[in-house]
Chains A and B, each alone.
Chain A
Amino acid sequence: MDQLLQHGLNALMLGGTYALLGIGLTLIFGIMRIVNFTHGELYAFGAYMMYMLVMLLEVNFFLALMLAVILGVALGGLIEITLLRRLHSADIDTTMLVMIGAWIALQNAEQLLWTGVAKSIDNPFPAAPLVIGPVSVAWNRVFVFAVVIALIVATYALVNRTKLGKAMRATFQDRDTAALMGIQIGTINTATFALGSGLAAAAGALLGPVFVAYPTMGDLAAAKAFAIVILGGLGNIAGATIGGFILAFAEELGAGYISSGYRDAMGFLIIILVLVFKPTGLFARKERVG
């Protein structure tokens, strides 16, 4: 029972970051109809920015975190403006090929710049874990969880309470009508991509100090984000949030009770099972096209 509780707590801590990754991807996927293969690279970018700022430039940890997210937003915006803007009317396969090209170039640029050796990042939290009854959790993970929850709430507020969010939701529902109503679709696309990229960079910047930063770290993160998006349904932020926690629990329990070697297979199995049995995702309200 204690073991189960510990697994549950670990999954909760992990699930928040997964949800963050999933929300970023589902926004881009839903609003822009783009399968964003660079999502994992933005995640790795966040982690490497933390490494650069904290370890090389010796910036304060919390300031570095903020800067890493801002840089992620900037990189996302840059990718949208330089690569995607001119493709706005192309079909989904074409944009996918461009994103794959960008992903390969980015990942290898990281490898070239930072070498293949994994980088660890110091954090200012006490090493002794927080012990609650029979279970324990590291302080840095508590911090990660708190920031993640704050970011998720902020994203909800942005999408549901602001004018920009309203324009995003309108674009998601019907792009052409939204454009007729005077919404600048180009601006919405840039904002969406920058926001989604910023969330991915935030996840990387938060998890980089917990684990280590290495060039291919984004691949698995992106694959998991795809699983979460499919689980939650296209463009569904609440679905992505719940999906993130479901995936984390499935992985944690699978690793604890079946085999740790197949831990990372959970996400892919979820993708295949969901698409076979309930292709609209678990929480979808409207018919999925694509």
Chain B
Amino acid sequence: MKRAPTVLWLLFLFSIPLWIADLYVVHVLVITGIFIIAAMSLNLLLGYAGQLSLGHVAFFGIGAYASALMSLGFSVHVAPGTVVAMGPQPVWLAIPAAMALAGLSGWFIGRLAFRVRGAYFVIVSISFAEVVRLVALNWVELTQGPMALNNIPPLTLWLPGLGEHTFWKKPENYWLVLIVAVVSYVVVRRLVRSRAGRAMIALRENEPLATSVGVDVTRYLVITTIASAAIAGSAGALYAHYVRIVDPDVFLFIYTVTMVIMVVTGGKGTLAGPIVGGLIFGLLPEILRAFDIAPELQWILYGVLMILVVYYLPDGIVPAVCKWWQQHGIGSGRGQSASGTPTIGAGQ
């Protein structure tokens, strides 16, 4: 009966569009869901492998552009007299291809960037995202530059026997994003509980020790980056086909910062952290908008919140709640749930 809470949760999440009639709310949830997927992928690198990747939006943007371009078709002159062209492809084919491309760029950047650590890694990752943004801005023939890619076809799904289904309605998009989010969650969970995940955590905790017992650091970091980039790419592709317009602003540093705030506030290195953080920071702008707060003030609030979280909740919300639960939940005789992670010496 251990799975009962999970099943109930999933049923609740899937049923939301059935009892929320306001399509704007569903729209906000779709966007939040896409960012939660991106935050989960960042959590792999930031939380589990312990690498502060501040270029994460590059993978998101590459996924968005790759999927949009494949479904729209493109033709570019790569060299004088040589034209690379591709006709429009179905969306359900473009998204996996975009994920593969994002994963490939993750492999490339992983090979390059993990020669350095700490501050240098951070700066390399930022530089990578900025170079990609400048390419998207200036390679007008491929990306339309600042004119943006318009009229991107909506999401479609091809099922054997049923044919192709186009997702025009918001609830349908919500369910699709939810399915991708659940699949991403499962993938991340399996990954961090596998041999690769243990290797990641080992090198986060103590890299020299991990190396000395034979953990191939670069190999596992690259595997993590590929997985992380591919998931971020899928979020980007979903975003492109849902919003149906992509411009070079998807590469802005501020989106990386949003993802980092989500992960850090929720709790880096926990499975639920990015979801909790993503929900808070996905819905907070809407709540603030209801109070007529200027966007600048919203960002100032984000900045201050980030500093306060680092000072007072350095592990994030999820570990703090778990700890509180263990200390107080048991004492008052309430549900001693199975969620408790085995922590040694806590709550005596």
Contact = CB atoms under 8 A, between A and B. Distances in A.
B310 A101 contact: yes
Contacts of A262: 134, 138
A264 B303 CA distance: 26
A108 B116 contact: no
A269 interface: yes
A108 B134 contact: no
Interface in B102-129: 112-113, 115-120, 122-124, 126-128
Given A112-B294, A271-B124, A100 B306 contact: yes
Interface string A113-128: 0000000000000000
Interface string A53-90: 00000000000000000000000000000010010000
Contacts of B305: 101
Interface string A81-107: 001001000001110111011111111
B86 interface: no
A27 to B, nearest CB: 15
B310 A97 contact: yes
Given A94-B310, A98-B307, A223 B300 contact: no
Contacts of A86: 311
A226 B294 CA distance: 31
A109 to B, nearest CB: 6
B261 to A, nearest CB: 8
B147 to A, nearest CB: 14
A259 interface: yes
B303 A275 contact: no
A29 interface: yes
Nearest to A220: B130
Contact of A268 (B50, B130, B264, B304): B130
Size bracket of the B interface: 35 or more
Contacts of A29: 119
A111 B314 CA distance: 29
B122 to A, nearest CB: 6
A265 interface: yes
Interface string B217-256: 0000000000000000000000000000000000001100
Given A223-B126, A271-B127, A92 B119 contact: yes
B143 to A, nearest CB: 12
Contacts of B131: 265, 268-269, 272
Q: Is the interface of A mostly helix, strand, loop or mixed?
A: helix
A31 to B, nearest CB: 14
A279 interface: yes
- Most chain B beta-carbon contacts within 10 A, residue among A92, A101, A107: A101
A194 interface: no
Nearest to B113: A275
Given A111-B296, A223-B126, A272-B124, A102 B119 contact: no
B69 to A, nearest CB: 19
A182 interface: no
A133 interface: no
Interface string A24-35: 000001000101
Contacts of A290: 116-120
Given A105-B303, A264-B134, 18 more contacts: A97-B260, A97-B306, A101-B302, A101-B306, A101-B307, A102-B303, A103-B303, A223-B130, A226-B126, A230-B120, A261-B134, A268-B128, A272-B128, A275-B113, A275-B115, A276-B112, A290-B118, A290-B119
29 contacts: A33-B119, A35-B123, A83-B307, A93-B50, A93-B118, A94-B310, A97-B306, A100-B257, A101-B303, A104-B257, A104-B299, A105-B299, A108-B296, A109-B296, A112-B300, A223-B126, A223-B130, A226-B126, A230-B120, A259-B138, A264-B134, A267-B127, A271-B124, A272-B131, A275-B115, A275-B120, A276-B112, A290-B116, A290-B117
Q: List the 9 closest A-B pairs by CB distance, nearest first.
A: A105-B303, A101-B306, A104-B303, A261-B138, A268-B127, A101-B307, A108-B299, A112-B296, A290-B118
